Structure 1
Amino acid sequence: MTAVTSTTTRTDLTKTLRDAIVSGEYAPNQRLIEADLSSTYGASRAAVRTALLELGGEGLVDRLPNRGSRVRAIPLTEAIEILEVRMGLEGLCAAKAAENITDTEIAEFHRLRADILTASESDLFEYSRLNQQLDRRIRELAHHPTAVSILERLRAQGVRHQFRLAFYPGRAAVSAPEHAAIIDAITARDAAAAERATRVHLQSVIDALRTIG
């Protein structure tokens, strides 16, 4: 668990708590007690309260009248709705990345493609990490702060369902070629194909989530 120093800003505390919730350090419906969080992270009660209010606004925390806060459990139906919204935004980012990518970044993406395909066959934890790295690099190359800001909030809400899906038997064999297709389109600087490949992948994620429940 990450400690927060006395000089940590409110923004840092919010990010630390967000990361802990997204990673599963705090389980869905788990109570978030301000005094405990204050002690754990070395932050004031006021800073903790403000961070929880901000995370409530992001849909990650439920504020309960006279009962404090708890980690919000995102139902499957809502996770699918989030993915449907992300489809458009992530398609846009992939298209922008294809337009902006440099020769040096193309070489980087080719290496990432090879690593993703290799990890999908032998190391699902590394495969999941590499997929997150790919998503992050696409957002960075998009140079679209508005889309990225909205995406980061939406991804945080639905990440638990996708993390569970990543380790579902046989899923990596389906998703790895989809990620490779996205990379191929971006490195070919084909914006339309990059957007299309991204939509295909996210629709595949939606279909798989509906199947496994």
Structure 2
Amino acid sequence: MSSAIGGPLPEAAAAVDKRVTDVIRAAIIRGEYAPNQRLIEADLSAAFSASRATVRTALLELAGEGLVERLPNRGSRVRAISVDEAIEILEVRIGVEGLCAAKTAASISDDDAAALERLRARMIESVAEGDLVEYSRLHLSLDNRIRELSHHATAADVLARLHAQSVRHQFKLSSRPQRAKVSVLEHAAIIDAVVARNPDAAERAVRSHLLSVIEALREVSAAESEAPAT
């Protein structure tokens, strides 16, 4: 659909911009683009069948989220986020995500509670079947849904930015079968507390989960630093 002067409608252009931004964000989170890798607009434009202007808009949006660095006269690259920085972000997320979980528990409807219980079952099933890619997708879906159901716009905005920056490290952890078996039980505990409409328990469950993630990141980082060079 076009406007009267022949160009795309603003709504359509915005939808295209969002699609490209979402695709590039997801690729960075999954590790398809390595930290410090250059993001060349012409290559991205060809890969995603989008205009250079659309790709540029997407990279600016992702730079605002802290996932991309804009280099003066040199384009863009994937921002490298250290384990120490990821841990600091997780420490901040403890308070804000706990708030969202508590708000959700205090006001959740029966229909939304039932939907969370179905999501809980699918998460457990995905780990049991060894489908860790699906588990990672569902776990991100849970995080997003609790933010939405909290109806706390400021907290949701803060978390959207913090989550994008630390989730790459969490995605890496989720690909480890033993960690996923621990993580899924922690997520189930969050859902149980929210569905039980117990704000205090929901906040505690979030705190317990994110402290567990921090400890796991420290362990993985220590193991990788001690591994002999190949």
Report the TM-score range of the alignment, normalised by the length of the smaller protein. 0.7 to 0.9
Matched residue of 1:28: which SS? Answer: coil
- Picking from 73, 78, 92, the partner of 1:66 is 73
AA of the residue aligned to 1:85:
V
AA of the residue aligned to 1:142:
S
Q: How does 1:148-159 map to 2 (within 5 A)?
A: 148-159=156-167
- Name 2:134's counterpart in structure 1: 126
| Bigger shift: residues 105-114 or 148-157 | 105-114
Contact 2:30 2:171 in 1 (8 A): no
String of CA shifts for 1:130-186, please: whole Å, max 9, x gaps. 212221221121111211111111111111110110122411222122111111111
AA of the residue aligned to 2:162:
L
Large movers: runs of 4+ above 6 Å: none
Q: 1:57 to 1:115 in 2, by over 3 A?
A: closer
What's the CA shift for 1:125? 2.3
AA of the residue aligned to 1:207:
E
Matched residue of 2:115: which SS? Answer: helix
CA separation in 2, counterparts of 1:97 and 1:25?
A: 33
CA separation in 2, counterparts of 1:22 and 1:166?
A: 12
Structure label with greater radius of gyration: 2
Matched, 1:105 2:112: yes
**TM-score of the two chains, using structure 2 as the length reference:** 0.82
Matched, 1:204 2:185: no
CA separation in 2, counterparts of 1:182 and 1:108?
A: 14
CA separation in 2, counterparts of 1:134 and 1:39?
A: 33
- Name 2:47's counterpart in structure 1: 40
AA of the residue aligned to 2:116:
F
Q: 1:167 to 1:40 in 2, by over 3 A?
A: closer
| Bigger shift: residues 38-47 or 51-60 | 38-47
* RMSD of aligned Cα (Å): 2.0
What's the CA shift for 1:60? 1.0
- Name 1:136's counterpart in structure 2: 144
CA separation in 2, counterparts of 1:173 and 1:55?
A: 31
CA separation in 1, counterparts of 2:85 and 2:137?
A: 24
CA separation in 2, counterparts of 1:92 and 1:189?
A: 14
CA separation in 2, counterparts of 1:21 and 1:53?
A: 14
What's the CA shift for 1:11? 4.4
String of CA shifts for 1:37-94, please: whole Å, max 9, x gaps. 2333344434433432332222111122332211111111111111111111110110
CA separation in 1, counterparts of 2:52 and 2:114?
A: 47
CA separation in 2, counterparts of 1:34 and 1:62?
A: 13
Matched residue of 1:62: which SS? Answer: strand
Query: Structure 1: any 5+ residue segments left out of the alignment?
Result: 1-5
Q: 1:192 to 1:158 in 2, by over 3 A?
A: same
What's the CA shift for 1:26? 2.2
- Name 1:29's counterpart in structure 2: 36
Query: Structure 2: any 5+ residue segments left out of the alignment?
Result: 1-7, 222-230
| Bigger shift: residues 104-113 or 67-76 | 104-113
AA of the residue aligned to 1:196:
R
| Bigger shift: residues 56-65 or 200-209 | 56-65
- Name 1:176's counterpart in structure 2: 184
- Name 1:188's counterpart in structure 2: 196
Identity %: 62
What's the CA shift for 1:108? 2.1
